[in-house]
Amino acid sequence: MSKKVLIVSASPRKNSNSEALALAFAEGAKAAGHEVDFVSLRGKTVNFCRGCFVCQEKQRCVIRDDADEICQKALTADVLVFATPIYYYEMSGQLKTLLDRLNPLFPSDYAFTDVYLLTAAAEDEDYVPQRAVSGVEGWIECFGRARLAGTVFLGGVTEAGEGSRHPEKLQAAYALGQNLA
């Protein structure tokens, strides 16, 4: 059965390594017949959450910026995919800010059940993405029907485009997209 997949790339860099993973995931999902919506936060306006909690009543944020539109897309997506560079052993600020702004989803009848996280970093030790994974898992904990369905970490890349030298990681992201349950 075809699924609606929303992929959010949270890197501020063009041709980033985390976005290369996201594009590979997208290609795998498309090859399997899924509907893919790809959103890059680069160039988007995503303001900080004000903590007013109006969204809990209205199921929509009072701030009208690009996060509002992304939130509406996330509401109807069956699968959410977040791609982020690792900065100081954590997800990018862009992704954290967006996750905060997805608060209107909490009381809603959201569709997503599977969430994936794709990360890239200059360091290549296995522990490098742990805090980013933990942060996304904390967000997922708030959504009882959702689970972290898979991750791919591409380490040892600094310059934009270096991910192409690691086809096994791009293939792993492609396979995750292709094998959505």
Q: How does DSSP classify residue 49?
A: P
Give me the domain span that covers residue 68: 4-178
Tokens 């310059």 map to which residue?
159
- Cβ neighbourhood burial of 145 (10 Å; 0-12, 13-18, 19+): exposed
- Kindly report the CATH number assigned to the domain that includes residue 129: 3.40.50.360
pLDDT digits (tens, 9 = 90+) for 137-167: 999 999 999 999 999 999 999 999 999 999 9
Q: Which two tokens stand for residue 4?
A: 């609606």
pLDDT of residue 1: 87
Beta strand segments in 26-158, E: 35-40, 79-87, 90-91, 114-121, 147-155
pLDDT digits (tens, 9 = 90+) for 61-102: 999 999 999 999 999 999 999 999 999 999 999 999 999 999
This model's pTM is above 0.95: yes
Element containing residue 6 per DSSP (H, E): strand 4-9
Can you tell me whether residue 63 is helix, strand or coil? coil
